[in-house]
């Protein structure tokens, strides 16, 4: 494990609840709070996606005084488009990344095997912090639990491919948030709504260590300090072949304890052999794959232009935002100067005028509306 790994917080639920504000705050030090981004992929398919973005942004502004910006990637059709490359560049510049509720399998499919997956890993490997809650948390392990497909559609339990981000912390597991959910009432909705029986059936078919996080509970892992903490209302549950291991809220222990519990499951020799044969077979490109690779090379120039356009668009938006802030400050200064003139405090009003003129701003007095312009 790299010693410079940043902090990652994994929440079972309650990402905008008051009792977990301190978890967000722990990850948002002075350096991290300057350029924060959220990814909307997990709930990108929902009709109320825009409202969810506003809710999260309002939470960060109200509870943490942080302006969290949006890096949007809602549909797989956007892959390798201008908007996708814009999101990539925004995330590459991020000091802090947040992703939260929605569909685990939808998020995993959008993020797997493209730049999003590598950016998330590079972000943490570079010592920066990130927070993943609910659906986004489910994607972090070697497998993703497709909750909607099993719980809502009624499919037999199965795993989908995970991002395996936690492998960077030497943790081999599948993450299950909403671990202690009880919304089902007369039927079991623990283990992220899937229920204990179906999880046990799944583990018999395809084993994985389980990292279970209760609702309104956070696991915070610090790579630099080599520690993990459990905060919130519930507990952390680790399930491996040796049994069940629980850590109550308030736990603060050496990360090596989790690493020892979540070691990779050793495969039998025959299974290793089959994996090796599969790797040899699939590593040989078919004629179609060769043609497609050449096609991608021919399209690389267009991709380059799309990346450049996305970069310029980001700069335009930054300057627009700066201009809006600048205009607001100027107008507030002019308004204050007007009040001072009404109070006949000409000395202070002239001081403000001098400040504005030193910034090459010309003030045009006269009438009710005071106009200003930038001198060439």
Residues 55-99 have pLDDT tens digits of 999 999 999 999 999 999 999 999 988 899 999 999 999 999 999
Q: How far apart are the first and last CA of the chain?
A: 56
Q: 């905060």: which residue's tokens?
A: 231
170 occurs within a structural domain: yes
For residue 87, give the 3-state DSSP assignment: helix
Domain holding 49, by residue range, is 7-266
Beta bridge partners of 213: 236
Domain shared by 253 and 312, yes or no: no
168 occurs within a structural domain: yes
Choose among 159, 92, 104: nearest CA to 132: 104
> What CATH number is associated with residue 114?
3.40.50.880
Domain shared by 226 and 340, yes or no: no
138 occurs within a structural domain: yes
Domain shared by 21 and 146, yes or no: yes
Domain shared by 261 and 318, yes or no: no
Domain shared by 318 and 234, yes or no: no
pTM score: 0.79
Domain shared by 217 and 331, yes or no: no
Spatial distance between the Cα atoms of 178 and 135, rounded to a whole number of angstroms: 9
For residue 173, give the 3-state DSSP assignment: coil
Q: How does pLDDT run across 121-150, given as a tens digit for each residue? A: 999 999 999 999 999 999 999 999 999 999
Q: How does pLDDT run across 194-251, given as a tens digit for each residue? A: 999 999 999 999 999 999 999 999 999 999 999 999 999 999 999 999 999 999 999 9
Q: Which of the pair, 136 or 286, is modelled with greater confidence?
A: 136
Q: Tally the domains of the chain.
A: 2
Domain shared by 303 and 229, yes or no: no
Length of the chain: 376
Q: Which of the pair, 181 or 285, is modelled with greater confidence?
A: 181
For residue 174, give the 3-state DSSP assignment: strand
Residue 288 pLDDT exceeds 60: no
């Amino acid at each position: 494990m790299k010693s410079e790994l940043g902090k990652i917080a994994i929440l079972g639920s309650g990402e905008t609840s008051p009792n977990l504000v301190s978890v967000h705050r722990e990850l948002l030090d002075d350096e991290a709070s300057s350029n924060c981004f959220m990814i909307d992929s997990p709930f990108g398919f929902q009709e109320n996606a825009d409202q969810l973005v506003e809710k999260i942004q309002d939470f960060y502004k109200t509870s943490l005084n942080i302006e969290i910006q949006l890096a949007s990637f809602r549909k797989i059709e956007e892959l390798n488009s201008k908007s996708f490359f814009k999101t990539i560049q925004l995330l590459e510049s991020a000091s802090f990344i947040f992703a939260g509720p929605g569909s685990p399998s939808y998020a995993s499919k959008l993020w797997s095997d493209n730049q999003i997956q590598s950016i998330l890993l590079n972000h943490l490997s570079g010592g920066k912090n990130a927070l993943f809650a609910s659906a986004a948390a489910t994607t972090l392990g070697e497998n993703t639990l497709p909750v909607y497909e099993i719980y809502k559609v009624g499919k037999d339990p199965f795993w989908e491919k995970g991002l395996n981000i936690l492998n960077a912390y030497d943790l081999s597991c599948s993450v299950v948030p909403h671990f202690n959910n009880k919304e089902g009432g007369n039927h079991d909705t623990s283990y992220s709504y899937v229920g204990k029986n179906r999880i046990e059936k799944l583990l018999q078919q395809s084993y994985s260590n389980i990292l279970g996080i209760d609702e309104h509970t956070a696991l915070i892992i610090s790579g630099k300090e080599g520690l993990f903490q459990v905060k919130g209302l519930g507990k952390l549950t680790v399930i491996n072949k040796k049994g069940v291991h629980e850590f109550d809220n308030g736990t603060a222990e050496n990360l090596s304890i989790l690493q020892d519990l979540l070691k990779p499951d050793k495969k039998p020799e025959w299974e290793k052999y089959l994996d090796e044969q599969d790797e040899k077979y699939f590593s040989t490109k078919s004629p179609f794959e060769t043609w497609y690779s050449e096609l991608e090379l021919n399209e690389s120039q267009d991709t380059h232009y799309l990346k450049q356009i996305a970069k310029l668009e980001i700069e335009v938006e930054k300057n627009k935002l700066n201009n809006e802030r600048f205009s607001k400050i100027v107008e507030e200064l002019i308004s204050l100067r007007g009040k001072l003139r009404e109070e006949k405090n000409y000395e202070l009003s002239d001081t403000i005028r001098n400040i504005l003129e030193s910034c090459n701003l010309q003030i045009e007095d006269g009438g009710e509306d005071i106009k200003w312009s930038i001198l060439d």
